[in-house]
Amino acid sequence: MLETDTKLLANLLPPLPKDLQTHVVSVEEFRGEITATVRKEGLRSLITFLKEDPHCRFDVMMDLFAMDYQNYNQETPERFALVYYLVSLLQNRRLRLKVFLSEENPRVDSIHDLYKAANWFEREAWDLFGIQFEGHPNLVRILCHSEFEGHPLRKDYPSDKYQRLKTTAPSEGL
Protein backbone atom coordinates (compact mmCIF):
# COMPACT_ATOMS: atom_id res chain seq x y z
CA MET A 1 0.00 0.00 0.00
CA LEU A 2 1.26 3.45 -0.88
CA GLU A 3 1.13 6.24 1.64
CA THR A 4 -1.62 8.05 -0.25
CA ASP A 5 -3.64 4.84 -0.19
CA THR A 6 -3.25 4.55 3.56
CA LYS A 7 -4.45 8.13 3.94
CA LEU A 8 -7.54 7.52 1.81
CA LEU A 9 -8.42 4.43 3.76
CA ALA A 10 -7.88 6.24 7.05
CA ASN A 11 -10.83 8.49 6.20
CA LEU A 12 -13.03 5.44 6.32
CA LEU A 13 -11.46 2.85 8.58
CA PRO A 14 -9.39 2.55 11.72
CA PRO A 15 -5.86 1.36 10.92
CA LEU A 16 -5.84 -2.20 9.66
CA PRO A 17 -3.74 -4.83 11.43
CA LYS A 18 -0.34 -5.34 9.79
CA ASP A 19 -1.14 -8.78 8.37
CA LEU A 20 -4.29 -7.48 6.69
CA GLN A 21 -2.57 -4.41 5.26
CA THR A 22 -0.50 -6.64 3.02
CA HIS A 23 -3.70 -7.85 1.37
CA VAL A 24 -4.67 -4.37 0.20
CA VAL A 25 -3.12 -3.66 -3.18
CA SER A 26 -4.31 -0.10 -3.75
CA VAL A 27 -6.97 2.38 -2.76
CA GLU A 28 -8.63 4.77 -5.20
CA GLU A 29 -11.08 7.58 -4.94
CA PHE A 30 -13.40 8.54 -7.78
CA ARG A 31 -16.38 10.89 -7.42
CA GLY A 32 -16.14 10.61 -3.66
CA GLU A 33 -16.31 6.82 -3.56
CA ILE A 34 -13.48 4.80 -2.10
CA THR A 35 -12.50 1.51 -3.69
CA ALA A 36 -9.92 -0.79 -2.17
CA THR A 37 -8.41 -3.39 -4.44
CA VAL A 38 -7.48 -6.47 -2.45
CA ARG A 39 -5.71 -9.76 -3.07
CA LYS A 40 -8.02 -12.70 -3.37
CA GLU A 41 -6.06 -14.71 -0.81
CA GLY A 42 -6.81 -12.14 1.84
CA LEU A 43 -10.40 -11.39 0.87
CA ARG A 44 -12.09 -13.58 3.45
CA SER A 45 -9.95 -12.52 6.38
CA LEU A 46 -10.33 -8.87 5.42
CA ILE A 47 -14.11 -9.08 5.16
CA THR A 48 -14.29 -11.00 8.44
CA PHE A 49 -12.29 -8.22 10.09
CA LEU A 50 -14.41 -5.47 8.54
CA LYS A 51 -17.57 -7.17 9.72
CA GLU A 52 -16.50 -8.06 13.23
CA ASP A 53 -14.12 -5.33 14.35
CA PRO A 54 -16.08 -3.07 16.72
CA HIS A 55 -14.68 0.06 15.04
CA CYS A 56 -15.63 -1.07 11.54
CA ARG A 57 -18.90 -2.95 11.94
CA PHE A 58 -19.70 -3.31 8.26
CA ASP A 59 -22.89 -5.18 9.07
CA VAL A 60 -24.52 -5.22 5.63
CA MET A 61 -23.24 -6.67 2.39
CA MET A 62 -25.22 -4.47 0.09
CA ASP A 63 -24.08 -5.86 -3.21
CA LEU A 64 -21.76 -8.36 -4.81
CA PHE A 65 -21.28 -8.59 -8.54
CA ALA A 66 -18.73 -9.40 -11.19
CA MET A 67 -17.12 -7.33 -13.93
CA ASP A 68 -15.53 -8.44 -17.18
CA TYR A 69 -12.80 -6.04 -18.32
CA GLN A 70 -11.96 -7.84 -21.56
CA ASN A 71 -12.68 -4.88 -23.86
CA TYR A 72 -12.17 -2.12 -21.33
CA ASN A 73 -10.20 0.90 -22.49
CA GLN A 74 -7.99 0.94 -19.41
CA GLU A 75 -5.45 -1.58 -18.32
CA THR A 76 -6.61 -3.92 -15.56
CA PRO A 77 -4.50 -6.52 -13.77
CA GLU A 78 -6.80 -9.38 -14.75
CA ARG A 79 -9.83 -9.95 -16.92
CA PHE A 80 -12.45 -10.45 -14.21
CA ALA A 81 -13.18 -8.61 -11.03
CA LEU A 82 -15.61 -9.08 -8.19
CA VAL A 83 -16.98 -6.04 -6.43
CA TYR A 84 -18.17 -6.22 -2.84
CA TYR A 85 -20.20 -3.37 -1.45
CA LEU A 86 -20.06 -3.22 2.33
CA VAL A 87 -22.12 -0.82 4.39
CA SER A 88 -21.95 0.08 8.04
CA LEU A 89 -25.40 1.33 8.98
CA LEU A 90 -24.33 2.46 12.41
CA GLN A 91 -21.50 4.67 11.18
CA ASN A 92 -23.12 5.35 7.83
CA ARG A 93 -20.03 4.37 5.86
CA ARG A 94 -19.64 2.57 2.59
CA LEU A 95 -16.67 0.71 1.25
CA ARG A 96 -16.13 -0.96 -2.08
CA LEU A 97 -13.76 -3.89 -2.26
CA LYS A 98 -12.54 -5.12 -5.57
CA VAL A 99 -10.73 -8.35 -6.20
CA PHE A 100 -9.28 -9.25 -9.60
CA LEU A 101 -9.56 -12.80 -10.90
CA SER A 102 -7.70 -14.34 -13.80
CA GLU A 103 -9.36 -15.55 -16.96
CA GLU A 104 -7.98 -19.08 -16.54
CA ASN A 105 -8.96 -19.48 -12.93
CA PRO A 106 -11.81 -17.18 -11.88
CA ARG A 107 -12.10 -18.67 -8.44
CA VAL A 108 -12.48 -17.09 -5.01
CA ASP A 109 -13.53 -18.09 -1.50
CA SER A 110 -17.24 -17.89 -0.83
CA ILE A 111 -18.42 -15.57 1.93
CA HIS A 112 -21.91 -17.04 2.23
CA ASP A 113 -21.20 -17.92 5.86
CA LEU A 114 -20.16 -14.35 6.67
CA TYR A 115 -23.21 -12.70 5.17
CA LYS A 116 -26.34 -14.71 4.42
CA ALA A 117 -27.06 -12.30 1.57
CA ALA A 118 -23.98 -13.50 -0.31
CA ASN A 119 -25.54 -16.84 -1.21
CA TRP A 120 -27.75 -15.66 -4.07
CA PHE A 121 -25.40 -12.88 -5.16
CA GLU A 122 -22.63 -15.44 -5.59
CA ARG A 123 -24.92 -17.74 -7.52
CA GLU A 124 -25.74 -14.82 -9.79
CA ALA A 125 -22.06 -14.05 -10.40
CA TRP A 126 -21.53 -17.72 -11.26
CA ASP A 127 -24.54 -17.79 -13.56
CA LEU A 128 -23.79 -14.62 -15.50
CA PHE A 129 -19.97 -14.55 -15.41
CA GLY A 130 -18.83 -18.05 -14.50
CA ILE A 131 -17.00 -17.03 -11.35
CA GLN A 132 -16.40 -20.04 -9.07
CA PHE A 133 -16.95 -19.65 -5.35
CA GLU A 134 -15.06 -22.16 -3.19
CA GLY A 135 -17.19 -23.60 -0.44
CA HIS A 136 -20.54 -22.36 -1.75
CA PRO A 137 -23.21 -24.91 -0.76
CA ASN A 138 -25.33 -24.70 -3.90
CA LEU A 139 -23.51 -23.04 -6.77
CA VAL A 140 -26.11 -23.51 -9.53
CA ARG A 141 -27.66 -21.11 -11.99
CA ILE A 142 -30.18 -18.71 -10.54
CA LEU A 143 -31.45 -16.42 -13.30
CA CYS A 144 -30.77 -18.37 -16.50
CA HIS A 145 -32.31 -21.73 -17.37
CA SER A 146 -30.44 -24.81 -16.19
CA GLU A 147 -29.78 -25.82 -19.81
CA PHE A 148 -28.25 -22.46 -20.71
CA GLU A 149 -24.72 -22.77 -22.03
CA GLY A 150 -22.09 -20.16 -21.34
CA HIS A 151 -22.17 -17.07 -19.18
CA PRO A 152 -24.19 -14.31 -20.81
CA LEU A 153 -22.67 -11.21 -19.26
CA ARG A 154 -19.15 -12.06 -20.36
CA LYS A 155 -17.99 -9.67 -23.04
CA ASP A 156 -17.30 -12.50 -25.50
CA TYR A 157 -20.88 -13.75 -25.30
CA PRO A 158 -22.75 -12.15 -28.25
CA SER A 159 -25.74 -10.13 -27.17
CA ASP A 160 -27.84 -11.41 -30.08
CA LYS A 161 -27.14 -15.11 -29.60
CA TYR A 162 -30.09 -17.46 -29.27
CA GLN A 163 -30.19 -20.83 -27.58
CA ARG A 164 -32.83 -23.44 -28.09
CA LEU A 165 -34.00 -25.59 -25.20
CA LYS A 166 -33.34 -29.27 -25.63
CA THR A 167 -36.17 -30.53 -23.49
CA THR A 168 -39.48 -30.29 -25.29
CA ALA A 169 -42.21 -28.44 -23.55
CA PRO A 170 -45.41 -30.44 -23.01
CA SER A 171 -47.37 -28.10 -25.27
CA GLU A 172 -45.16 -28.70 -28.32
CA GLY A 173 -47.01 -29.91 -31.36
CA LEU A 174 -50.19 -28.04 -30.63
- Asked if 171 is part of the footprint of other proteins (rule: CB under 8 A), the reply reads no
- Asked if 146 is part of the footprint of other proteins (rule: CB under 8 A), the reply reads yes
Burial label, 32 (beta-carbon count in 10 A; 0-12, 13-18, 19+): exposed
Between the CA of residue 61 and those of 40, 105, 116, 122, 169, what are the distances in Å?
17, 25, 9, 12, 39
Q: How far is the CB of 68 from other proteins (least distance, A)?
A: 8
Per-residue binding letters, 95-114, with other proteins (x by CB under 8 A):
-x------------------
Total chain residues near other proteins (CB under 8 A): 39
SS3 assignment, position 158: coil
Between the CA of residue 42 and those of 21, 25, 157, what are the distances in Å?
9, 11, 31
Window contacting other proteins (CB under 8 A); options: 9-17, 39-47, 53-61, 99-107: 53-61
Q: How far is the CB of 157 from other proteins (least distance, A)?
A: 8
**In this complex, which beta carbon is closest to other proteins, that of residue 18 or of residue 32?**
32
DSSP assignment of 115-137 = -TTHHHHHHHHHHHH--EEET-T
**CA-to-CA distance for 44 and 47, rounded, in angstroms?**
5
- Asked if 61 is part of the footprint of other proteins (rule: CB under 8 A), the reply reads yes
- Under the rule (CB under 8 A), what is the footprint of other proteins? 30-31, 33, 59-63, 65, 67-68, 71-74, 83, 85, 89, 92, 96, 115-117, 119-121, 124, 128, 140-146, 152-153, 157, 159
